[in-house]
Chains A and B, each alone.
Chain A
């Protein structure tokens, strides 16, 4: 299951609409191992194509270094399809290179209703998962049901 804030979903949809008819792409970073999609980073589609996307290699190095410095990883890798459904294509599956990421697909083929879905892609297998849109991300164990800490 991917839990993601409405504000970020709105930003992903806006990005996909803005780049239509080319595919839009980017990441949502979060602390390593946390599975929390917290920081949206729209990326340039170096292919500028309606059927293909690829992160610009120098931008990718910059963004990956920034994540390293902040102890983050790409929790979500997203891109849009502009004429087909929001489901990973064969190319998406064969190039998927971050086994821990949620792969979020958007479809802008219907300009009134952008479709958004989330998948895991591991060893060439695609599994759809629930995408839950929330106002705030769930709190972790420290905040839930524990006594306050007095100092």
Chain B
């Protein structure tokens, strides 16, 4: 009796408009994943036998190989650069400190076709070598392979590891490293015995982002002909027209990524132990001398050149060749539509993210905690899964609505919603909710709950408190959330490629379309536009880091 009264008291206390909107948002994210989970309980079809017998092992091995190799090399590159920039001083260090984030502005699929053309027989690399009368074996430059995919992913995804590891070294390792030095340990021992073990959770967090990107990738692997589970989902769907088996493959991939996601959460849980002690002293970089100094500049410069400067310069050259033929009024219209679509999805995401984040903050119950965790789980679900789940949902929604369509005189069983942009917008919301949510949550964490509580004891409910007190204080976080989400959507490829209505193109699909039609030079202009927009996001990311430092 008392328990029931308490429960009804709790429900009354926590029920408000925010909860309702939050639940709708969570349902939108949950629904597309539902058919995928359900598929595991259905009997597989004949085609599935064929897939498991001849193809699945191959897909699995390729995916695994790609993840392990890319993971290894991104950690190697990311951590060594982060340590170099955080712990040592050398010429151009301040420039490299942020310049090494720029590769994040180049989507890997753009890098993939840029590099494959640069390394081809008629590309700039082999051509230049031939002018010096060196005719290398073309096999050495075969990037259209597993090796090439690892190369591309490593060069363009390492900044995830670099960024997280660097800010960890700079902010949280100072006093430990000073202690180790006072205890008489050398530089190598300090790195391997102190800095590296302390940074392990941070490195793991960055690595998880890389792994999710690689598992979710469609552009690079399909262009390079590497068969992974993600590309296999598309092939069974469009090549074999077997949606059931595609959904089943998606379910297996999802089990894998959810497992990884849980491991990552678990690893991050441990991070508290390393940072909750007293105030951390920032690490004072130590000056490098002589040969070491030049080696450091050369290493950073080399990585920067290959992971940003060279490909962007090459794209610039191609863009100048094709500017007149590509930059037509129709292309201007494409940009306008692509940008307005991204803006629309961003607005929806930021609205829902703010509601859920505020809900979790104002009534911290296990229920709202689960809600917010569910919302952020979206980033670990590969695009292929989101795409197929959203499609399955919309087709069945159209079927449910068929009587309504018929009543409106639209014919029997037309596909109305699943042929419209609504589907793509929903897919973006599912996929990128986490980007917006994390930004908002970081803002709320910095502000704390104190001001909200003051406002409530002064007679304001949570809605008015939000607009009067919270929103002005998290303005910056909302802004960076908008920029980061917008950019993610502009450069997103697989969802747009699969779910766009007939005749609708985004900048990303146009670039990829050109590239798959062997019109690499024409792809340069949309590619450079995407890179330009993404550089704004990198700038914001860097600013956010600075703020947190203060």
Q: Do A and B come from one complex?
A: no
Which residues from chain B sit less than 8 Å from chain A, CB to CB?
A: none
